[in-house]
Chain A
């Protein structure tokens, strides 16, 4: 018994650059089930990031429908989308995107500032999230005082602290060495397996993709093959 989380129907996404119109997607269909861990691969410019942006509600399709748990998100207003992102999506970026001026704990706390939690509850949740990524001893460190792998773990803690259903990762290990990358990927796998997070991860790295439950190959705006682990 599976529950569909994302449902994309006939999604078109065009960009105009000067007089030229770029058709990134021309009728894309995709379903992502709750609890899935999907790796998206494909050549540069094939639309991986564009797809992730649309799933995350930071970009909208030119045409077609995107539903999340049965509700359309492609026609939400900007403010409504921001709220929707705050409750449902955790983002993990290639370059971590931490706030350089804030400590690890303050960075992780950011999504909680959008909730009604008290300062005390926020502190507890932040501590839990940092413990989960094994950084309980780094709470007061600033991003520049941490290694890339540690920064990405802070970013993961930030992505999960408000307990969203979905994690969207764009090349989360693109900037890390093999060993650290494996550490991060194991962590994502754990979040998927033990905490039921649904994960969509864009990657160029076939070894990284192996951590996912399924791999989608994107080429010229369409999925050309699908590997199931």
Chain B
């Protein structure tokens, strides 16, 4: 009990004396806040990106791309290829006994990013009504579905929010062709919302793709089971394709941003080292400013534990304030903030920064770590302070 009272007294004294070291202490708090903010920004970005992509893939859908193509963009599937694959077992059938699949095109068109005004690549998907039905939760928010054979477009709601020039009713020019925006659709936050959709056959003609497609999607008879498709592709040497569930495909695309997480941590650790240096400096200054106080308390009979804990506590409190400021700011400024970035396929994926309680905890933990390490060595010095210093 006695030791608790001693530690408490020293803590109270240290905290009350903070205003005397106001600017230095504020600088230390600010440094920690910035580090935590930056870390959370990176993590929230990766979090949001992953959520968008992992929210996209379904285990019920398989996606076929040309073997070796990293994304839909550089994949090609001929009309014949589509026809052969559509005969595979394991594809679900509609009530007339026809396989449920969609052969799609995926090309890039120009758009203007609203925030920066810069030209960016937007994915234009050539799709048919069967393709639309392969996506869960597709709803037309405004306007209508494009008609086949016409140069008509529908734009995803995320894409509309991020990029200008695709407002409902607008005429858009891609190369020498003119298109009209007739509808706005939502897919419940998945990556498809970052896309522009048009009729597959129209895209084939207007983009001179002949009769070839780029990817093929099909509903699986059994959730997650692509073995029959794999067998078919392996057995036929003409079929140089790769098949995956859509869930796996988008999870892999999401991993493209795991580099961001590593980069975010690396930046945060470098900056954290700076904040740590600041914390150490602040606390060493605090200890030397309190030399007489500490030595006097020790002369009176206070234990060196109280000197140690009091200093450590001051440092942890300062860092904690910084940590709370940094996380709060991150939540206030970033959570739900919409952003778009290049996906692996060099097209824009629109996603929002997602902060979570987990990230909050991560931020606070890092702040505590900085406070603890930044306080430990100065606290050690305080504990080892010669008592004779009390006598000047």
Binding site for B on A (CB under 8 A): 49, 52-53, 56, 58-59, 78-79, 82-83, 85-87, 91, 93-95, 97, 99-102, 110-111, 113-116, 158, 170
| CB <8 Å contact, B296 and A101 | no
Q: Which residues of B are found within 8 Å of A82, using beta-carbon distances?
A: 298, 301-304
B302's contact among A52, A91, A114, by CB below 8 Å, is which? A114
Q: Which residues of A are found within 8 Å of B303, using beta-carbon distances?
A: 79, 82
Q: Which residues of A are found within 8 Å of B338, using beta-carbon distances?
A: none
CB nearest to A94 among chain B residues: B392
A101-B13, A110-B9, A113-B2 as given contacts; A95 in contact with B301, CB under 8 Å: no
Chain B interface helix/strand/loop/mixed: helix
Closest chain-B Cβ to A60's Cβ sits at a distance in Å of 10
A-B contacts, 16 listed (Cβ < 8 Å): A49-B391, A52-B391, A58-B298, A58-B390, A79-B303, A82-B303, A83-B301, A85-B299, A95-B392, A99-B293, A100-B17, A100-B293, A110-B9, A110-B300, A111-B301, A114-B302
| CB <8 Å contact, B301 and A97 | no
| Residue B120 lies at the interface, judged by CB distance under 8 Å to chain A | no
A56-B299, A58-B299, A83-B301 as given contacts; A97 in contact with B390, CB under 8 Å: yes
B296's contact among A93, A94, A115, by CB below 8 Å, is which? A93
| CB <8 Å contact, B6 and A59 | no
Provide the bound-state CA to CA distance between A13 and B260, in Å.
63
B388's contact among A59, A86, A114, A116, by CB below 8 Å, is which? A59
B1-38 CB mask vs A (1 if < 8 Å, else 0) is 11001100100110011000000000000000000000
| CB <8 Å contact, A85 and B388 | no
Provide the bound-state CA to CA distance between A39 and B4, in Å.
38
The 6 closest A-B pairs by CB, nearest first: A86-B301, A58-B387, A101-B16, A97-B296, A113-B5, A85-B301
Q: Which residues of A are found within 8 Å of B296, using beta-carbon distances?
A: 91, 93, 97, 99
| Residue B297 lies at the interface, judged by CB distance under 8 Å to chain A | yes
Closest chain-A Cβ to B221's Cβ sits at a distance in Å of 76
Closest chain-B Cβ to A155's Cβ sits at a distance in Å of 10
| Residue B292 lies at the interface, judged by CB distance under 8 Å to chain A | yes
CB nearest to B9 among chain A residues: A113
- Number of A-B residue pairs, CB cutoff 8 Å, is 74
| CB <8 Å contact, B13 and A116 | no
Closest chain-B Cβ to A123's Cβ sits at a distance in Å of 14
Name, among A79, A86, A115, the residue most crowded by chain B CB atoms within 10 Å (CB to CB): A86
Provide the bound-state CA to CA distance between A111 and B9, in Å.
11
Provide the bound-state CA to CA distance between A79 and B307, in Å.
13
CB nearest to A49 among chain B residues: B391
Q: Which residues of B are found within 8 Å of A114, using beta-carbon distances?
A: 2, 6, 300-302
Provide the bound-state CA to CA distance between A86 and B303, in Å.
10
Closest chain-B Cβ to A194's Cβ sits at a distance in Å of 24
Closest chain-B Cβ to A69's Cβ sits at a distance in Å of 17
A53-B388, A58-B299 as given contacts; A97 in contact with B2, CB under 8 Å: no
Provide the bound-state CA to CA distance between A83 and B302, in Å.
8
Q: Which residues of A are found within 8 Å of B301, using beta-carbon distances?
A: 82-83, 85-87, 111, 114
Q: Which residues of A are found within 8 Å of B2, using beta-carbon distances?
A: 113-116
Provide the bound-state CA to CA distance between A56 and B298, in Å.
12
CB nearest to B16 among chain A residues: A101
Interface set, chain B 254-298, CB cutoff 8 A to A = 292-293, 296-298
Closest chain-A Cβ to B110's Cβ sits at a distance in Å of 65
Q: Which residues of B are found within 8 Å of A86, using beta-carbon distances?
A: 300-301
| CB <8 Å contact, B390 and A91 | yes
| CB <8 Å contact, A78 and B13 | no
| CB <8 Å contact, B299 and A91 | yes
Having A78-B304, A113-B302, A116-B1, one finds 4 other A-B pairs with CB under 8 Å, namely A79-B303, A102-B13, A113-B6, A114-B301
CB nearest to A114 among chain B residues: B301
Closest chain-B Cβ to A140's Cβ sits at a distance in Å of 14
